[in-house]
């Protein structure tokens, strides 16, 4: 099951922002262009219409003050004059002032704010959270086996009151979609869903989700794990340790810019090896032991090599911190799905978080290629389906492409780039694959075959 909604395109960010509208058409275009070769005629269902998350569902996760603030802010934006409508404005300083009531000298300057709010932001955020709720409902009822939610804005940095204390911004997020989905499942599917696991594979620590899980303090029902880069200068500069009492596990990875060669000959391989080793040795056995009834995945693809999301600085010119490939994302989804198949009837929902693109040589740094994002998303869906049949099924995303006519130029660009990327993927370095597989060979298979405790 793939879910997306036009409302998610109505959340506007400033020109040149990496969390741009074009991300979703790029993902959908790639899924559409490769559906015939990756999926059988009855293996993929696309859902374009579903309910928004309710006011009550959002309030289970976020504070009353914050929820009311976002609703009121949206009303203010809707009431703006035609001349000022459509212009995104800084979000983080408004949260810090109205909800957290920080002193003036501690409020983030608007000119350096990276999280935006516009007329369509509330509906987009509610629709993103609604996609997770809808996916869970269909899966629990047996109508779908698993799901991928192609939505925006992302949500894993949104804490109890939006902005998480100690972090520099709201991280492009408004409402925490996976947390809202998890709490809704525990509330409305009590017989079928008694325990939920949330796994965050974004390159940035899921600090918002962690804060929510800690505050809820329902360790028998909720488990959270985040694998991410950790460095004092890399947003959000948190997630360096576990919190056992709240069932929170953090798997921090040292950025490549701080690493020494690992023996494979190149420092770049360190990130891939660290990522797979942490997951194979710590996450998979813990997840299996927790034995959830539902697994939710915050899937950020910004750990992909050269994605600007894992650059050292905001100017997009610094060194990369992680070097994951499409094979690594397929690998982790396949293994999470394998655990889900064993412990919870295959119930797994993957939700798009980060993943923005890389700089195109000779182009301004504001123009990004979303090829890797779209390819990784398509391969995630392929991993969820679990097979690679050849089929002549029609393009089930055709109607979507027509609706997104405003993004047709970027759609065509992304589709072409995605096709080229898939061709290049067959020429990956044997040396890299040997180094990465050497770190985890056999471990994940042993973990999956071990009887759950």
Q: What is the pLDDT of residues 273-304, one digit of tens each?
A: 999 999 999 999 999 999 999 999 999 999 99
Tell me what pLDDT residue 364 has: 82
Has residue 17 been placed in a domain?
yes
Tell me what pLDDT residue 260 has: 58
Of 45-59, 160-174, 282-296, 395-409, the least confident: 395-409
Tell me what pLDDT residue 81 has: 74
Find the domain containing 262 and state its range: 2-51+125-449
pTM of the model: 0.87
Single out the residue of 326, 305, 417, 407 nearest to residue 371, CA to CA.
Answer: 417
Active site residue 163: no
Tell me what pLDDT residue 266 has: 55
Tell me what pLDDT residue 446 has: 55
Has residue 41 been placed in a domain?
yes
Has residue 101 been placed in a domain?
no
Average per-residue pLDDT in the chain?
Answer: 85
Which tokens go with 116?
């935006």
Tell me what pLDDT residue 304 has: 96
Tell me what pLDDT residue 10 has: 95
Q: With a cut of 80, say whether residue 74 has pLDDT above it.
A: yes
Q: How far is Cα 377 from Cα 421, in angstroms, rounded to an integer?
A: 13
User: Which residues have a Cβ under 8 Å from the Cβ of 54 and sit 6 or more positions away?
Assistant: none
Chain position carrying tokens 């927790």: 290
- The number of helices, as runs of H, and strands, as runs of E, in the chain is 15, 12
Q: How far is Cα 187 from Cα 192, in angstroms, rounded to an integer?
A: 11
Could you tell me if 299 and 201 are in contact, meaning their C-beta atoms sit under 8 angstroms apart?
Answer: yes
Has residue 87 been placed in a domain?
no
Per DSSP bridges, beta strands 46-47 and 2-3 are parallel
Give the mean pLDDT of 121-140: 99
Has residue 343 been placed in a domain?
yes
Q: Which of 5, 157, 189, 228 is labelled catalytic? A: 157
Could you tell me if 24 and 6 are in contact, meaning their C-beta atoms sit under 8 angstroms apart?
Answer: no
Of 35-49, 148-162, 238-252, 362-376, the least confident: 35-49
Tell me what pLDDT residue 442 has: 55
Tell me what pLDDT residue 173 has: 98
Has residue 111 been placed in a domain?
no
* CATH, residue 47: 3.40.800.20
Total number of domains constituting the chain: 1
Has residue 293 been placed in a domain?
yes
Has residue 328 been placed in a domain?
yes
Tell me what pLDDT residue 362 has: 85
Per DSSP bridges, beta strands 294-299 and 222-229 are unpaired
Q: With a cut of 50, say whether residue 433 has pLDDT above it.
A: no
Tell me what pLDDT residue 386 has: 87
* Three-state secondary-structure class, residue 82: coil
């Amino acid at each position: 099951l793939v879910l997306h909604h036009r409302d998610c395109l109505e959340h506007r960010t400033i020109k040149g922002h990496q969390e741009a509208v074009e991300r979703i058409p790029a993902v959908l275009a790639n899924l559409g262009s490769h559906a015939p070769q990756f999926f059988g005629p009855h293996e993929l269902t696309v859902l374009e219409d579903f309910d928004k998350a309710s006011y009550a569902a959002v309030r289970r996760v976020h504070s009353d003050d914050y929820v009311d603030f976002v609703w009121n802010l949206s009303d203010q934006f809707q009431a703006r004059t035609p001349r000022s409508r459509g212009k995104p404005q800084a979000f983080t300083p408004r949260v810090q002032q109205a909800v957290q009531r920080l002193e003036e000298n501690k409020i983030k300057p608007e000119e350096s704010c990276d999280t935006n709010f516009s007329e369509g932001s509330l509906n987009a955020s509610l629709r993103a959270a609604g996609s997770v709720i809808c996916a869970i409902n269909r899966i629990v009822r047996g109508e779908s086996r698993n799901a991928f939610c192609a939505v925006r804005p992302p949500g894993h940095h949104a804490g109890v009151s939006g902005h998480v204390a100690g972090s520099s911004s709201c991280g492009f997020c408004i409402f925490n979609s996976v947390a809202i989905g998890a709490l809704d499942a525990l509330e409305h599917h009590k017989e079928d869903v008694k325990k939920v696991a949330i796994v965050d594979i974004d390159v940035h620590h899921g600090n918002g989700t962690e804060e929510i899980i800690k505050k809820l303090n329902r360790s028998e029902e909720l488990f959270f794990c985040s694998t991410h880069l950790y460095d004092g200068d890399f947003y959000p500069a948190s997630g360096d340790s576990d919190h056992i009492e709240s069932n929170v596990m953090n798997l921090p990875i040292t950025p490549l810019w701080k690493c020494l060669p690992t023996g494979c000959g190149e420092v770049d391989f360190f990130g891939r090896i660290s990522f797979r080793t942490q997951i194979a040795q710590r996450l998979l056995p813990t997840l299996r032991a927790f034995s959830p009834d539902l697994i939710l995945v915050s899937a950020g693809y910004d750990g992909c090599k050269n994605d600007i999301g894992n650059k050292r600085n905001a100017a997009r010119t610094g060194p990369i911190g992680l070097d994951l490939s499409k094979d690594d994302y397929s690998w982790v989804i396949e293994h999470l799905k394998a655990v889900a198949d064993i412990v919870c009837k295959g119930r797994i929902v993957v939700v798009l978080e980060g993943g923005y693109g890389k700089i195109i040589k000779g182009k301004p740094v504001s123009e990004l290629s979303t090829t890797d994002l779209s390819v990784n998303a398509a391969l995630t869906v392929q991993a969820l389906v679990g097979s690679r049949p050849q089929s002549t099924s029609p393009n089930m995303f055709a109607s979507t492409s027509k609706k997104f006519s405003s993004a047709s130029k970027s759609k065509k660009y992304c589709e072409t780039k995605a096709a080229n990327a898939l061709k290049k993927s067959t020429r990956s370095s044997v040396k890299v694959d040997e180094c990465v597989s050497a770190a985890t060979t056999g471990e994940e298979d042993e973990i999956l075959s071990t009887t759950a405790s």
